[in-house]
Chain A
C-alpha cells in the first residue's frame, strides 16, 4: 500500500501547481536511470514503501524501485484490469491483494513501467516487513521470478501501541547484521555512515516542509486536499526521493506554494477547478481508488467537500505526529521510522489518530474507504468508524471499492452514498448537529 504522484497522468489531468513540474522531472529522471541501469550498472533494489530504507539504499549508490508504485500507476493508466487477469489466469486467487496481482501481471507482460520504459531486474529484493503481511508473500513470489538475493527486515507491530526498546533493538540489529551486509554485497561498497547522515538531513528538511503542508489544512479554507491532492504531495517522500536534495527542494517549493495559497485564502485545485468554497471538511481513512481516481475525487469536489486529513498519507511515515529522521543516529532513526508507519499502528492508535484529525482539523465528517484488497487497512474499519463517531460526535460514512481492480469500483453506488452523506451533514448542520450518528454507516454494532 502506498502512493506517489503518477507521472504520466498527473501532467494532463490533475491540478497544475509549480511543484508538480519539479516532481514530474524527478520521476522522469529516476525512471530514465532505472531503464539505463542494466548498462550503467547502477544497482537496483526493490523494496516496499512502509518502512522503506531509501536513505540507506541511496547511501550505497543504489536505485530504489517500489512494486506497489508500479501497481498503483498501472491502475491509474488503465492497465491493471489486464494485469490482474493475467495473474489470475496464472493461478492467483481472486480473493487476495490486487496490488500483488497487478505487479505480477505487469511482470509477465514485459515489465513496462509507468513512464513506458522497461523496468530493470532487481539486484536485491529488500523486504521491509512493516505493517502488512502480504509484503512477505509478495517478495516470496517475486523471488521466484528473479535470480537475485533477497534480504528480510522484520519490523515488529505496535501491538501495545508503542515501540518497546527491545523491538527497536531488534530492528537496529537486523539492519546492522543483515541489511547493510546484503547491500554491501550487491553494491560492492562499504557503508559510509557520514553519507547516510547527510542524506538523512535532506529527509528531515523535507519532512518539516511536508508537515507544514499537511497542517496547512487546518486553515479555512484548506489550501490543500489532504487525501486526493496529498497523494501527489507524499509521493516523493514515500518512495525514492526521501534523503535526496531534489526531494528536499521539491518540498520547499511545495510548502511555499501552499503558504501562498493560505495567504490568499485559496483552496486547492481539484478536478472541478479551484475549491475555495468548501462546504464540508472531511477526514479520510483508507487508501483512495486508483482506477477511477479523478472521478472519485470529483464526487467530492463537485459537492464542495475537501479532505483535510487522511490516514493513507501516513502509510509511509507519521511525520505530523512528530517523527523526524535523526541524522545523529542514522541506524536507530531508520528503525524508529519503520515502526511508526500507519499500518504498523494498532487499532486503538488508529482510532485516536482519526479522532485527533477530526478535532484538530475541525472536520464536519469522516469517511472510511474500505478496499477489498487490503486486510491491513480493512480488517477492523467498521469498529474504527464506530469508535471515532463515539469519541468525536461527528458522523462517519463507509464506502467500499478496491485499489486497482476496476471490477470493484461501482461509481453509481459510491456517488449515491456520498451524496446522501453530504446531504446528511448539511441537514445535521442545519439542525445544530443533533442528528443521530451512523445514519450513513448503516446499522449499529
Chain B
C-alpha cells in the first residue's frame, strides 16, 4: 500500500471510530494522561495542549450512529448535531474525556453546555464565550482573562501547574498546524484533481483526535505524497462550499459534490482548526499573544459579529477570488441559525458580484445523495455552459 493510501486509510479508521479508541490509547500510554473535548467552531486548543491534555474535537456521530436516546432530548426543529452528541455521551463513547468545552457558536451549543453540566456533573464543563468586541481594551481584556481562567481550570483538571513556557510551546505547535492546513488548502486549490476533498477532509478529521505533533507528521507525509501525483485535471468547475462550519456534512455528501462535477477549492469544514489566519507570536505573555491574534486575525465567519457594514456583502466575492473559484455552494445544516441567518446576506453579496450560487440543506446523518448529485451536477453544467447564468 502506498504511503498516501495508508494515510488515508488511517484517517478513515479514525473518522469511523466514534468511541475515540485512539484517544483512549493515547491516555493509556502514559500515567495521568487526560483528554479534553471541544465542540465546533472555535476553541483555543493551545490552552488545552499546554496542560498536557489531548485536545479532541467532537463532531457528532455523522451518519454512523443510530440515535436512540438523543432524540428524546431535542425537538424536531433543532439541528441534528446535539442529538448525536447526547447519544455519544449516553453510550459511553465520550468517556475518555475529562473535560468538555462548549464554544459560543450558537444558542444550541450554548444551552448544551448547561445540559452537559446537568448530565455529567462530575466533568469539567465550560462555556467559552469568544469576544465579539474587537477593541483590545474591552474584547481583548475579556478574552485574555477568559483564556487565563480556562487555562488555570484545565491545568487543575490535568494536575499540572500553569506554565508559560508550555503555553508558548503550544502556541508554536498550533502555528505549525495552521500553516500546514493552509498549505494543504493551497495545494488543493492549485491542483484539486490531486487532492480530493474527501481525503483532505479525512486528514483534517484525524487532526481533531490526534496529538498535533502526530497530525503534523501525517499531513507532511500526505502533502509530499500528493506532490508526486500525476493525475490530470478533469472537466469540473471550481466551487467554494460555505455554511458547513458546525454540524459536518456526511463524507458521502462531500464526495457527491466533487463527483457531480465540482472541485471544492475552499470550504468551511472544521473551520476552527484554521480560524486564526496569522501566527501567534512567541513572548513573555503567551495568553495575550493568543488573545491578540484572535482579535485581529480571526477569519470572518458566522460565529462572529461582522463589524464592517459591507463585510457580509464582500465576503464571498473575496473568498471566490482568493480561491479562483467559479461559484459558491451554500451548504447549511437544517435548522442551523448561524448559517441560515447569514445565507441571505452572503448570497446577496455573491449574486451582486455575479457569482453563480446554489444552496441546499443537509444533516449530518443524511443518507441519500441523489438530490445533491443532481443539484451539484446541474450547477456545474450551467457554469460550464453559461458561466452559471442559464
- On chain A, the number of residues with a Cβ less than 8 Å from chain B's Cβ atoms is 57
Q: How far is the CB of B86 from chain A (nearest CB, A)?
A: 9
* Interface residue stretch chosen among B6-14, B73-81, B366-374: B73-81
1/0 per residue, CB under 8 A from B, across A129-164: the answer is: 100111011101101100000101010110110001
Residue B104 is within 8 A (CB to CB) of chain A in the complex:
yes
Residue A354 is within 8 A (CB to CB) of chain B in the complex:
no
CA distance A383 to B113 in the complex (A): 12
For B138, give its contact among A170, A350, A376 (CB under 8 Å).
A170
Q: Is the CB of B106 within 8 A of A375?
A: yes
Which residues from A are CB-within-8-Å of B132?
129, 136, 152, 154
- Contacts A91-B347, A129-B305, A347-B115; A154 near B131 (Cβ below 8 A): yes
- On chain B, the number of residues with a Cβ less than 8 Å from chain A's Cβ atoms is 59
Residue B91 is within 8 A (CB to CB) of chain A in the complex:
no
Which residues from A are CB-within-8-Å of B335?
95
Using CB atoms, name the residue of chain B closest to A387. B118
Which residues from B are CB-within-8-Å of A160?
126-127
For A348, give its contact among B107, B118, B340 (CB under 8 Å).
B118
Residue B135 is within 8 A (CB to CB) of chain A in the complex:
yes
Q: How far is the CB of B40 from chain A (nearest CB, A)?
A: 14
Q: Is the CB of B139 within 8 A of A351?
A: no
Q: Is the CB of B142 within 8 A of A167?
A: yes
Q: How far is the CB of A62 from chain B (nearest CB, A)?
A: 21
Q: Is the CB of A157 within 8 A of B127?
A: yes
Q: How far is the CB of A406 from chain B (nearest CB, A)?
A: 16
Residue A436 is within 8 A (CB to CB) of chain B in the complex:
no
Residue A380 is within 8 A (CB to CB) of chain B in the complex:
yes
Q: Is the CB of B133 within 8 A of A140?
A: no
For B306, give its contact among A93, A140, A157, A379 (CB under 8 Å).
A140
Q: How far is the CB of A50 from chain B (nearest CB, A)?
A: 12
CA distance A380 to B133 in the complex (A): 28
CA distance A370 to B108 in the complex (A): 14
Residue B72 is within 8 A (CB to CB) of chain A in the complex:
yes
Which residues from B are CB-within-8-Å of A150?
309
CA distance A92 to B344 in the complex (A): 6
Which residues from B are CB-within-8-Å of A173?
137-138, 141
CA distance A312 to B162 in the complex (A): 42
Which residues from A are CB-within-8-Å of B309?
143, 150
Using CB atoms, name the residue of chain B closest to A146. B309
Q: Is the CB of B343 within 8 A of A376?
A: no
CA distance A383 to B89 in the complex (A): 14
For B137, give its contact among A177, A346, A387, A445 (CB under 8 Å).
A177
1/0 per residue, CB under 8 A from A, across B48-74: the answer is: 000000000000000000000100111
Using CB atoms, name the residue of chain B closest to A349. B114
Residue A381 is within 8 A (CB to CB) of chain B in the complex:
yes
Residue A174 is within 8 A (CB to CB) of chain B in the complex:
yes
Q: Is the CB of A380 within 8 A of B112?
A: yes
Q: Is the CB of A170 within 8 A of B72?
A: no
Q: Is the CB of B114 within 8 A of A140?
A: no
Q: Is the CB of B142 within 8 A of A347?
A: no
Using CB atoms, name the residue of chain B closest to A156. B129
Residue B117 is within 8 A (CB to CB) of chain A in the complex:
yes
Which residues from A are CB-within-8-Å of B337?
96-97, 133-134, 137, 375
Residue B45 is within 8 A (CB to CB) of chain A in the complex:
no
- Contacts A166-B145, A387-B118; A372 near B74 (Cβ below 8 A): no
Which residues from A are CB-within-8-Å of B361?
93, 95
Q: Is the CB of B305 within 8 A of A136?
A: yes
Which residues from B are CB-within-8-Å of A133?
106-107, 110, 337-338
CA distance A381 to B199 in the complex (A): 39
Q: Is the CB of A375 within 8 A of B72?
A: no
Residue B341 is within 8 A (CB to CB) of chain A in the complex:
yes
For A379, give its contact among B72, B111, B149, B341 (CB under 8 Å).
B111
Which residues from A are CB-within-8-Å of B173?
none
1/0 per residue, CB under 8 A from B, across A91-112: the answer is: 1110111001000000000000
- Contacts A133-B110, A372-B77; A141 near B307 (Cβ below 8 A): no
Q: Is the CB of A141 within 8 A of B129?
A: no
Residue A90 is within 8 A (CB to CB) of chain B in the complex:
yes
Residue B187 is within 8 A (CB to CB) of chain A in the complex:
no
CA distance A444 to B137 in the complex (A): 48
Q: Is the CB of A156 within 8 A of B78?
A: no
1/0 per residue, CB under 8 A from B, across A346-366: the answer is: 111111000000000000000
Which residues from B are CB-within-8-Å of A189?
none
Which residues from A are CB-within-8-Å of B78?
375, 378-379
Q: How far is the CB of A401 from chain B (nearest CB, A)?
A: 11
Residue B356 is within 8 A (CB to CB) of chain A in the complex:
no
Using CB atoms, name the residue of chain A closest to B135. A177
Which residues from A are CB-within-8-Å of B119?
383
Which residues from B are CB-within-8-Å of A138?
341
Which residues from B are CB-within-8-Å of A97?
337, 341
Residue B19 is within 8 A (CB to CB) of chain A in the complex:
no
Which residues from B are CB-within-8-Å of A376?
107, 111
Q: How far is the CB of B178 from chain A (nearest CB, A)?
A: 25
CA distance A169 to B127 in the complex (A): 19
Using CB atoms, name the residue of chain A closest to B142. A170
CA distance A373 to B386 in the complex (A): 39
Which of A95, A127, A167, A349 has the largest count of B CB atoms less than 10 A from its CB? A95
Q: Is the CB of A159 within 8 A of B72?
A: no
Q: Is the CB of B141 within 8 A of A170?
A: yes
1/0 per residue, CB under 8 A from B, across A404-445: the answer is: 000000000000000000000000000000000000000111
Residue B37 is within 8 A (CB to CB) of chain A in the complex:
no
Instruction: List 20 A–B pairs whose Cβ atoms lie within 8 Å, in order of A's numbering.
Output: A93-B340, A93-B343, A95-B77, A95-B334, A100-B341, A133-B106, A133-B110, A134-B341, A137-B338, A140-B342, A152-B132, A157-B104, A166-B142, A170-B133, A379-B82, A379-B112, A380-B112, A380-B115, A400-B75, A443-B72
Known contacts A95-B336, A346-B114; can you find 4 more A-B pairs with CB under 8 A? A95-B77, A154-B132, A159-B126, A382-B72
5 interchain residue pairs of minimum CB distance: A347-B114, A159-B127, A137-B341, A154-B132, A93-B340
